[in-house]
């Protein structure tokens, strides 16, 4: 676990925790399988030539934060059908109950929310398979966010609103994507990157697995001071309601 330490007391009131690649091991093959199904949908349903699909998906991801949000700018389709298609996976091939994770989450009484660019149906299937559904207050998903995705700055403010308007200074945001951490840090969240290697910009702490959350929580609440790491926000296309 990487961290910065100091002598500042703070009380954490709310956790916002990403889903895919964060509550389970991002190297288990499931995220790659979903990426393959996105590409298949774009090619077979939206009739984009096979050779153009990778560059189009990368463009959408970099510009809008997700393939879905980008596709909505250029194609007419049912986003619920898209999400159902992308997440139509046999979860038994990738996930199983995680009693260690469950104990880690239960050991911290602070309210926790799932905050994901995926949809609620997929999130519930994943949480049920891991047997941790009851560890969370609720799910803030792509429908809640009106199809706007992290790392757009608006979604972090909307997540706070939906969770009862806690002070971001007293909130923790956890994600396996470093770029999703920057906007959260910018508005005052303590941020934790789930990954291994050098601590990326936008992250205040790192841990290899969410199993380590109790130790990270202790650092943040008792001994942690935010470093001066705030960086310019990513340039994303504006959205309309």
**Tens digits of residue pLDDT in 179-223:** 999 999 999 999 999 999 888 989 999 999 999 999 999 888 775
If asked whether residues 124 and 171 sit together in one domain, one would say: yes
**Integer Cα distance of 163 and 11 in angstroms:** 17
CATH of residue 140? 3.40.50.1000
Number of structural domains (the chain) is 2
Q: Distance of CA 47 to CAs 52, 56, 74, 167, 195, Å? A: 10, 13, 12, 45, 36
Quick one: 52 and 140 in the same domain? Answer: no
Q: What is the reported pLDDT for 191?
A: 94
Q: Sign of dihedral through CA atoms 154, 157, 160, 165?
A: negative
Question: Domain range holding 56?
Answer: 30-91
DSSP string, 138-195: EEE-TTTTTT--TTSHHHHHHHHHHTT---GGGEEEEES-HHHHHHHHHTT-EEEEES
Do 56 and 103 lie in one domain? The reply is: no
pLDDT top residue among 9 and 68:
68
- Say yes or no to pLDDT of 13 above 70: yes
Last residue of a domain, one of 45, 74, 91: 91
Averaged pLDDT for residues 213-235? 63
Residue 240 located in a structural domain: no
Q: Would you place residue 91 in the very low, low, confident or very high pLDDT band (cuts 50, 70, 90)? A: very high
Could you tell me the pTM of the whole model? 0.88
List pLDDT tens digits, range 37-59: 999 999 999 999 999 999 999 99
Same domain, 200 and 144: yes
Q: Say yes or no: 141 and 77 in one domain.
A: no
Domain assignment present for residue 239? The answer is: no
| Residue 233 placed within a domain | no
Same domain, 41 and 110: no
């Amino acid at each position: 676990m990487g961290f910065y330490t100091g002598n500042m007391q703070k009380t954490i009131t709310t956790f916002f925790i990403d889903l895919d690649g964060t509550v389970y091991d991002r190297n288990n093959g499931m995220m790659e399988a979903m990426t393959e199904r996105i590409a298949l949908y774009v090619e077979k349903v939206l009739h984009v030539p096979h050779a153009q699909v990778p560059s189009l998906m990368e463009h959408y991801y970099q510009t809008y934060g997700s393939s879905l949000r980008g596709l909505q700018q250029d194609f007419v389709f049912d986003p619920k059908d898209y999400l159902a298609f992308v997440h139509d996976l046999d979860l038994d091939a990738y996930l199983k109950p995680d009693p260690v994770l469950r104990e880690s989450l239960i050991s911290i009484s602070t309210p926790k929310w799932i905050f994901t660019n995926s949809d609620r149906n997929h999130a519930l299937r994943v949480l049920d398979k891991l047997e941790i559904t009851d560890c969370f207050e609720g799910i803030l998903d792509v429908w809640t966010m009106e199809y706007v995705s992290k790392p757009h700055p608006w979604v972090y403010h909307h997540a706070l609103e939906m969770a009862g308007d806690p002070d971001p200074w007293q909130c923790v945001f956890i994600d396996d994507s470093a770029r999703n951490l920057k906007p959260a840090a910018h508005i005052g969240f303590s941020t934790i990157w789930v990954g291994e290697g050098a601590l990326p910009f936008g992250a205040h702490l790192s841990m290899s697995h969410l199993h380590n959350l109790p130790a990270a929580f202790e650092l943040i609440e008792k001994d942690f001071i935010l470093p001066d790491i705030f960086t310019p926000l990513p340039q994303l296309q504006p959205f309309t309601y």
